Structure 1
Amino acid sequence: MAESAFLARHGATEWSVAGRHTSRTDLPLLPEGEEVARGLAARLAGVAFAEVLTSPLQRARRTAELAGYPDAEVSDDLREWGYGDYEGRTTAEIREQVPGWTVWTHPSPGGESAAAVTARCDRVVARIRVATGPVLVVAHGHVLRALAARWLGLPATDGRLFRLDTATLCELGHERETPVLLRWNS
């Protein structure tokens, strides 16, 4: 059993600042996103990671690189939740057509289902659990929230309960044998 898994959300992009849903669109970090990503290096110093995994999208890969992990292993399982037709739109814009919409509670036409996200997250959780030490995962807001829910044995859609800001760190671990959140959105 790994000591823990550290989750790092990528730094700010133009769309994350504007509240636009960004899954498959491969946006670069803003200069301020790069700056805070560099700050993750000091926060992660002293942790000897058994594995470092990243989403294939440049905003996550660049965050990993700036945090000191340029050779992070790319995993398609860490792509952001696919928003389909809602890509690039804000929640307010979507709710003009679908009142009360959230990615957690409503389908996204042409997008990814909660079941598909669950399957991806479960593969990552399984990998973390057999690692020989802590694992660093660099990815995106919704998929990391779903991953934390799956770590805790909750439905991926319970990720809605965990706010996650850009360029923040979280730590998953155990209290005895029980999976727990050790640190969130810090």
Structure 2
Amino acid sequence: MTHVQQPANPSHAKIYLVRHGETEWSLSGQHTGRTDVALTARGEDEARSLEPALRAIRLDHVLTSPAQRARQTCTLAGLGQAAEIEPDLAEWDYGDYEGRLSVDIRKERPGWTVYRDGCPGGETADDVSSRADRLITRLRSLSGNIVVFSHGQFCCSLAVRWIGLPVVNGQHFQLGTASFSVLAFNPSHPGVPVIAHWNSSP
């Protein structure tokens, strides 16, 4: 298991984790990895509704997935001009399962879950775990408050790796569109990573 770098002042570090707004595929439940779908009109409204909450936070770094849906959410939330593209914030690469529904995949592979079994032609759980750890190392090297715009299943994977659990535990987490969560450190036990807030809607 990869060990990720601790920040100089861990009790002060906060990561605001934002999932993108609604898309046609998030609405239908289709796995959306590398397909670059845009937000729906409702998704755009969801993204705009994030702006007041984010405006109230002093943000020192803004990072976004390269996907259109994440960048749109970032821009509509009022942070587009400050954003830096971070490739490691991309959603899982679903490979052969791109655009498919979990219920249909399980007809062929009973009990399948992406967090344990990965995707043929795409990323494995180990691939995503390594990517999340690499990103966490970068995030912990930054100072101040950081907001990241990413995707549902990668955000869940990132959160469990933040607290040192295997990616398979991501199956126990759920995120709504345009939700935000907070990854931080326990102020009473500096250096102990915690999920301080989860799946809040604007």
Q: TM-score, normalised by structure 2?
A: 0.89
SS of the equivalent of 1:153 reads: coil
CA drift of 1:64 comes to 0.5
SS of the equivalent of 2:49 reads: helix
Q: Is the 8 A contact 2:163 2:193 kept in 1?
A: yes
Q: Find the aligned partners of 1:82 and 1:39 in 2 and give their Cα distance.
A: 28
Q: Find the aligned partners of 2:80 and 2:162 in 1 and give their Cα distance.
A: 26
| Alignment root-mean-square deviation, CA | 1.0
CA drift of 1:132 comes to 1.3
SS of the equivalent of 2:115 reads: coil
Runs of 5+ consecutive residues of structure 2 not aligned to the other structure: 1-9
Instruction: Tell me, yes or no, if structure 1 residue 52 matches structure 2 residue 62.
Output: yes
Q: Find the aligned partners of 1:50 and 1:127 in 2 and give their Cα distance.
A: 14
Q: Find the aligned partners of 1:19 and 1:154 in 2 and give their Cα distance.
A: 26
SS of the equivalent of 2:53 reads: helix
Q: 1:119: which partner in 2?
A: 130
Q: Find the aligned partners of 1:23 and 1:76 in 2 and give their Cα distance.
A: 13
Which stretch of structure 1 is more off in the superposition, 104-113 or 145-154?
104-113
Choose which of 102, 107, 110 in structure 2 pairs with 1:96. 107
- What is the correspondence of 1:67-146 to structure 2 with a 5 Å cutoff? 67-71=77-81, 72-146=83-157
Q: Find the aligned partners of 1:64 and 1:147 in 2 and give their Cα distance.
A: 19
Q: Deviations over 1:135-169 (max 9, x none)?
A: 10100001111110111011122111211111100
Q: 2:177: which partner in 1?
A: 166
- Aligned-residue sequence identity (percent) comes to 47
CA drift of 1:46 comes to 2.0
Q: Find the aligned partners of 1:185 and 1:91 in 2 and give their Cα distance.
A: 21
Q: Find the aligned partners of 2:51 and 2:42 in 1 and give their Cα distance.
A: 15
SS of the equivalent of 2:27 reads: helix
Q: Is the 8 A contact 2:21 2:69 kept in 1?
A: yes
Q: 2:199: which partner in 1?
A: 185
CA drift of 1:3 comes to 2.4
CA drift of 1:107 comes to 3.2
Q: Deviations over 1:50-71 (max 9, x none)?
A: 2111000000000000111113
Instruction: Tell me, yes or no, if structure 1 residue 64 matches structure 2 residue 78.
Output: no
Q: 2:7: which partner in 1?
A: none
2:147 aligned partner, one-letter code = L
| Deviating 4+ runs (over 4 angstroms) | none
CA drift of 1:105 comes to 2.1
Q: TM-score, normalised by structure 1?
A: 0.96
Q: Is the 8 A contact 2:117 2:124 kept in 1?
A: no
Q: Find the aligned partners of 1:54 and 1:138 in 2 and give their Cα distance.
A: 5
1:48 aligned partner, one-letter code = R
1:21 aligned partner, one-letter code = H
Q: Find the aligned partners of 2:152 and 2:104 in 1 and give their Cα distance.
A: 19
